[in-house]
Amino acid sequence: MSDVKNSPDELEQDETMQDPNEDTVANVDATAEDNGAEPNADAETIDIPEGTNLMQALIEAQKEAQANKDGWQRARAEFANYKKRVEREKTEMFQRASLDTLKALLPVIDDFDRAFDNVPDEISDNPWIGGVSMIQRKFETLLDKYDIEPIDPAGEAFDPNYHEAVGTDDSDDVESGHVTITLQKGYKSGEQVLRPALVRVAS
């Protein structure tokens, strides 16, 4: 067996013939170092705790979503009720203000009633009286618009909720405890009394 010796030219050629993958790896490592990363570092992964029940987590999320939905619906219903209450209170306030204004006009209506109850026969057909009568009817129309009714309880049983007694009378025609005469008509709107009727009652 003879020894094989490589010439200097062959040794130089062997040194230059390196694995091309080494250059690729070196370039990758250099790029990683330039980006501030460690060469050949493993990719970051998301750790999922062992024993995690995804189905249970989904159920809990659905329960929370339903609770939020229920709370939203409850808040919406409460707001709707609040709006209705405000509108109702606004309407009631307007109604009370209107009734207070009309209540202040009742003495004027009383004056019209007394005036027309005492019109002399000789001027009852006067056109001027007819014109004033039209004004009185406008007042009556205004009362009707707000459902205001007169209280004239002559002959009815005395009711302290609607009547105010100012005296008693001995009467054979009217039963005891009943109204003998209405001195001043009262007015009411529904069950609300604007002014009780002034009456005298049979003893």
Q: What is the pTM of this model?
A: 0.57
Shared domain for 106 and 176, answered yes or no, is: no
Q: Which of 97, 116, 146 is the last residue of a domain?
A: 146
Sign of CA dihedral 147, 95, 90, 78: negative
Do residues 155 and 176 make contact, with C-beta atoms less than 8 angstroms apart? no
- Could you tell me which of 77, 195, 97, 89 has the C-alpha nearest to residue 146? 97
| Contact criterion met (CB below 8 Å) for 160 and 193 | no
Residue-wise pLDDT for 102-145, tens only, equals: 999 999 999 999 898 888 888 888 998 889 899 999 999 999 98
In a domain, 201, yes or no: yes
In a domain, 124, yes or no: yes
**CA pair distance 175, 169, nearest whole angstrom:** 11
Mean pLDDT of the chain: 79
Whole-number Cα distances in Å, 126 to 121, 136, 156, 167:
10, 16, 36, 38
Is the pLDDT score of 28 beyond 90? no
- Same domain for 121 and 65? yes
- Of the candidates 146, 165, 194, which is a domain's last residue? 146
Using one digit for the tens of pLDDT, what is the confidence trace for 155-189? 999 999 999 999 999 988 899 999 999 999 999 99
Provide the domain limits for residue 166.
Answer: 149-203
Alpha-carbon span 48 to 84, nearest angstrom: 52
